[in-house]
Amino acid sequence: MHDDRSLVESRLKRVLEERIRPAVHPVSVPLTAGIWTAPGEPVPVAEGLAAPRTPIAAGDAWGAPWSTSWLTVTGTVPAEWAGRTVEALIDLGFDANMPGFQCEGLVYRPDGSPVKGLHPRNQWVRIAAPAAGGEEVVLHVEAAANPVILDYHPFLPTELGEKETAGDRPRYRLARLDLAVFDETVWELVMDLEVLGELMAELPVEGARRWDILRAVERALDAVDLQDVGGTAAAARAELAGVLASPAEPSAHRISAVGHAHIDSAWLWPLRETVRKVARTTANMTALLEDQPDFVYTMSQAQQYAWIKEHRPEVYARVKKAVAEGRFVPAGGMWVESDTNMPSSEAMARQFVHGKRFFLDEFGVENHEAWLPDTFGFAGGLPQIIRQAGSTWLLTQKISWSQVNSFPHHTFWWEGIDGTRIFTHFPPVDTYNCSMKGGEIAHAVRNFKDKGRARHSLAPTGWGDGGGGTTREMIAKAARMRDLEGSATVRWERPAEFFAKAQAEYPEPPVWVGELYLELHRATLTSQARTKQGNRASENLLREAELWAATAAVRAGLPYPYAELDRLWKTVLLHQFHDILPGSSIAWVHREAERMYAAVAEELTGIIDRAQRALAGEGDADVVFNSAPHARGGVPAGGARPAGAPATTPGRGCTAVPRPEGGHVLDNGLLRVAVDARGLVVSLVDLDSGRETIAPGTAANLLQLHPDFPNMWDAWDVDRFYRNTVTDLTEADELTLIQDDLGAAAAVRVSRSFGSSTAVQTLTLRAGEKRLDLDTEVDWHETEKFLKAAFPLDLHTERYAAETQFGHLHRPTHTNTSWEAAKFEACNHRFVHFEEPGWGVALVTASTYGHDVTRSVRPEDRGTTTTVRASLLRAPRFPDPHTDQGVHRFRHALVPGAGIGDAVREGHRINQPERRVPGAAAAEVAPLVSVGDEAVVLSAVKLADDGSGDVVVRLYESRGARARTRLTAGFPLAGATSCDLLERPWPGEEGETGTDGDEVLIALRPFQLLTLRLARVVSRS
């Protein structure tokens, strides 16, 4: 037989596109429209409905960037359409190839009740089914003119990301405003042909099934009268019924489809626009659930539910009803889909606390899966956080974006730093915006790496962001693939149903140990430094506010600020969303975040000050409060003493002498620091051991400047080739010695200029402190540059430690494999630590996250130079063309001779400075709780969220070793209960504890996290 396959396939493409799809709406009449544009920010619905309209028609321009226009469309259903299905077709000027990244609309009835959203792939509004004829149509559309920022030529710098610079030129033209008949039979024919055509293209040419479909399609096309598609659609469908009814092979891959719309809580739009995106999409999805009995939709991010509850209560009522019916499924149990690399231990825990508690309080739902499809890699401390939040599963997809190494599993156990394992799934469909195309389904089957051992995968299905979610077309295609020969089988299922099936069939999957590193988007550890510093400062202040508020409540009866802390935590958690904290949002988002962090700091500082004054009593003496989890300067951890209390480690004063070659030598009896005439550290000797810290022939605290123009994703990415070119900033404009007359400290300040920028660094050695403090102020005016601070260490090690949530993880210093080489930029929290047996060095930081580590062997002495570089600033131009311009301040410290415990302690010290408040001369505040082993770190001390007055303590083993210790309550203890993160009783498997009077006996595994609820003895006086 002659091979006419290509001929038939080409015929299908043209007939479907030019004849059959247009016949879905065979007749139409224009609607009349009027428009009103709000003068500023979006207005309440009632105001938008009542505003006066001016005429507008298809083809007219509308929509300055970020503006909101209200359209009213009116018309009458023609009498001759009686008995037929009628829809309004409203095209605001959409580009069908950009769902989620352009204008959107929400349709309202005249009474102000929402109907559904309008999006590029979802432009219809059902009017009547069937119509009586003569119906008057009145619809209102709240249309958002969100500008296209990620355009066909992506990553071009644009001023559209800031309202003040975006201009007022209209960005859109109305394309269609019609009433039309909807021919359901033709629409079903379109779905038949799309499913079969897409499946056919994925089947082997030599297989019989492909040819069976081809011949059926040919017969169907023969049956279609191109001048009467509607009249012949049923006959064409009949020709396809046989091949559509042929069942799937028993061994077919099984896909659990989950209705989904991944909505970034901010990205190329501000937070306020996400509120409306969520309302549009959930209005769509609740309407679709009413029409489609098999459909299941899931939405994560408790914050987004809270937004629609506050701003669109009518939509929220529909959501609550659908949740109660089990059709609309809250997923993930987090406040937002946050970044997981940079949030602190407590912040990561609170993402689950606030998310899960919202779902429990609002819906009575406790979900067991973490849902993070788009997050940029996963820290090694996350599994036990997920587990202790009461969850057991994790879904993500982003790891499929890795540039170098293909992850070897799709379903596996993920083991965290403490040994906790979480059953984890990466959808092999490789998208969290699956549209049920045949190519996507076939890719999932081919790509699934666990074939032969497992057959289940998940497909998050729907257009994300402002795309409107799942469409009726996706549901129709899934229905045809429910049991279709040559295809995977598709069922709509809740995430929990998928995970239960997947784990049952694959109870012993492979294990992946340690972080899930994304080999992409590494620069998000550095972009938008102010946002990152605001986050770190807020986390520190929240911890401190809870500690002192709880102490003041127990000791002084001061009311505990439950509501304020709850609100502030949620605000900070929101801004840890995976495009805000990583620095990949538009300028509007980051400027707003900067203002928010300032307001949060002011409010939290007020809470701290009130609590500390209540504890310090009346007087003018300085009372020193230590919120760090380790004692310092004679002040216990979590306690306070009058200033001048004896120091625990007295040391000699600091001296500074000229260096013969230029520069200065600083000495405090513990360290001797040589700073040369360039202002660089050329020697740093640990006087206890006699060890030199700085590699011979090198200089530390060296600022280095690289060009930074990645191939894609400017704010997100740094590509390896950036290292090919480097400029060492060695020229000093000024070098100044600063010495305290009493010998308490000595410092060298060096000023530099480079490009259009300046940097001032102050290197300080303090009496009694075995560390060199490094303060850097940069007035940054570069573009497409990367600034780092380098510390070449004379130290041989094959791995180093980097702090993460509730512990640290080890990374190699070498690049033996492609997996190791790909980690050329990595994350740390407060420290990185390098160690030879018996001697180590820590670099601690107050606000930076990104760093890189390299090693080389010196030919002269065969010694190893291990260089760590802290990433300070970048200057990408997309999506914010003015990223990080202006003044920035950074604090680091280099700690020679440091063990891992020293790194932990110094990391907390630099992040939790002491506070001094006026109070009584004899004021002494004992810690509310204390632990007997410095390896056990108190992550949180607070009052229980339920208002019971119980004290809640979260702690963890910080050094990677076993620990047995006692926790002492500074109040009469009625009992201690091991809890989960939500402060609910937790079975004994998670902690070996017992009580002894006012003490709790604790035994911890390496890096184990433990939450204790301490009941107080109630006084009967």
Q: Quick check: 649 pLDDT over 70?
A: no
Per residue in 160-171, pLDDT (tens digit) is 999 999 999 999
Q: What are phi and psi of 13, to 5 degrees?
A: -60, -45
User: What's the CA gap between 276 and 107, in Å, rounded?
Assistant: 12
Sheet containing 32-37, strands listed edge to edge, beginning at the edge strand earlier in sequence: 54-56, 32-37, 68-76, 136-144, 104-108, 114-118
Q: What is the pLDDT of residue 1?
A: 61
Q: Quick check: 198 pLDDT over 90?
A: yes
- β-strand pairing of 734-739 with 176-182: unpaired
Q: What angle do CA 913, 384, 566 make, to 5 degrees?
A: 55
DSSP helix/strand/coil, 607: helix
Q: What is the pLDDT of residue 988?
A: 56
Q: What is the pLDDT of residue 970?
A: 96
- Where does 415-456 have alpha helices with state H? 438-447
Residue 996's pLDDT band, with cuts at 50, 70 and 90, is confident
Per residue in 853-876, pLDDT (tens digit) is 999 999 999 999 999 999 999 999
Nearest Cα residue to 840 out of 804, 810, 860: 810
- β-strand pairing of 951-957 with 936-943: antiparallel
What average pLDDT does range 297-302 have in this prediction?
Answer: 98
Name the residue with tokens 């958002």.
144
Cα-based distances in Å from 171 to 69, 157, 165, 570, 609 = 12, 17, 14, 35, 50
User: What's the CA gap between 470 and 258, in Å, rounded?
Assistant: 9
Q: What angle do CA 714, 718, 720 make, to 5 degrees?
A: 145
Per residue in 279-290, pLDDT (tens digit) is 999 999 999 999
What DSSP designation does 653 have?
P
Q: What phi-psi label fits residue 619: left (phi over 0), alpha (psi between -120 and 50 degrees) or beta?
A: left
Q: What angle do CA 147, 151, 155 make, to 5 degrees?
A: 110
Q: 605-610: long-range contacts (C-beta < 8 A, 24 or more apart)? A: 605/541, 607/545, 607/548, 607/549, 607/561, 607/564, 607/565, 608/541, 608/544, 608/545, 608/548, 608/549, 608/915, 609/917, 610/552, 610/558
Nearest Cα residue to 657 out of 775, 743, 760: 743
Cβ–Cβ under 8 Å, residues 347 and 334: no
First to last CA, the chain: 101
Name the residue with tokens 């969100």.
146
Contacts of 225 (CB under 8 A, 6+ apart): 231, 232
Per residue in 603-630, pLDDT (tens digit) is 999 999 999 999 999 999 999 999 999 9
Lookup: tokens for 45: 């619905």
Which residue in the list 374, 622, 933, 945 is annotated as catalytic? 374
What average pLDDT does range 800-806 have in this prediction?
Answer: 98
User: What's the CA gap between 851 and 751, in Å, rounded?
Assistant: 23
Q: How big, in percent rounded to 5, are the helix, strand and coil portions of the chain? A: 30, 30, 40
Amino acid found at 805: Q
Cβ–Cβ under 8 Å, residues 929 and 967: yes
Cα 740 to the center of its chain, rounded Å: 45
- Where does 292-432 have alpha helices with state H? 302-311, 313-324, 345-363, 382-388
Residue 647's pLDDT band, with cuts at 50, 70 and 90, is very low
User: What's the CA gap between 563 and 945, in Å, rounded?
Assistant: 10
HSE (side-chain half, CA atoms, 13 Å) at 894: 30
Per residue in 313-356, pLDDT (tens digit) is 999 999 999 999 999 999 999 999 999 999 999 999 999 999 99
Nearest Cα residue to 299 out of 312, 286, 317, 313: 286
User: What's the CA gap between 810 and 798, in Å, rounded?
Assistant: 10
H or E segment at 328? strand 328-330
What average pLDDT does range 727-751 have in this prediction?
Answer: 95
The count of other CB atoms within 10 Å of the CB of residue 707 is 14
User: What's the CA gap between 88 and 105, in Å, rounded?
Assistant: 14
- Percent of the chain residues topping a pLDDT of 70: 98
Cα-based distances in Å from 473 to 432, 488, 553 = 17, 18, 58
Residue 992's pLDDT band, with cuts at 50, 70 and 90, is low
Sheet containing 864-874, strands listed edge to edge, beginning at the edge strand earlier in sequence: 727-728, 702-707, 785-794, 864-874, 850-857, 826-827
Nearest Cα residue to 8 out of 159, 213, 160: 213
Cβ–Cβ under 8 Å, residues 329 and 494: yes
- Where does 168-301 have alpha helices with state H? 184-202, 208-223, 229-245, 271-291
DSSP helix/strand/coil, 52: coil
Catalytic residue check, 465: no
Lookup: tokens for 359: 């779902």
- Whether a cis peptide bond, with omega within 30° of 0, leads into 408 is no
What DSSP designation does 110 have?
T
Cα 778 to the center of its chain, rounded Å: 28
User: What's the CA gap between 756 and 792, in Å, rounded?
Assistant: 27
Cβ–Cβ under 8 Å, residues 553 and 610: no
H or E segment at 602? helix 587-616
Q: What is the pLDDT of residue 994?
A: 77
User: What's the CA gap between 870 and 470, in Å, rounded?
Assistant: 43
Lookup: tokens for 122: 């979802």
- β-strand pairing of 369-371 with 393-395: parallel
DSSP helix/strand/coil, 635: strand
Q: Quick check: 933 pLDDT over 90?
A: yes
Per residue in 402-441, pLDDT (tens digit) is 999 999 999 999 999 999 999 999 999 999 999 999 999 9
DSSP helix/strand/coil, 627: coil
Q: Quick check: 652 pLDDT over 80?
A: no
What average pLDDT does range 353-362 have in this prediction?
Answer: 98
Cα-based distances in Å from 311 to 102, 104, 115, 363 = 22, 17, 15, 18
Q: 945, exposed or middle or buried, with CB in 10 Å at 0-12, 13-18, 19+?
A: middle
H or E segment at 562? helix 562-574
Cβ–Cβ under 8 Å, residues 197 and 243: no
Q: What is the pLDDT of residue 2?
A: 76
- Percent of the chain residues topping a pLDDT of 90: 96
What average pLDDT does the chain have?
96
User: What's the CA gap between 105 and 316, in Å, rounded?
Assistant: 18
- Whether a cis peptide bond, with omega within 30° of 0, leads into 879 is yes
Name the residue with tokens 């795309």.
467
Q: What are phi and psi of 531, to 5 degrees?
A: -65, -45
Partners of 943 in beta bridges: 951
Lookup: tokens for 615: 């504890």
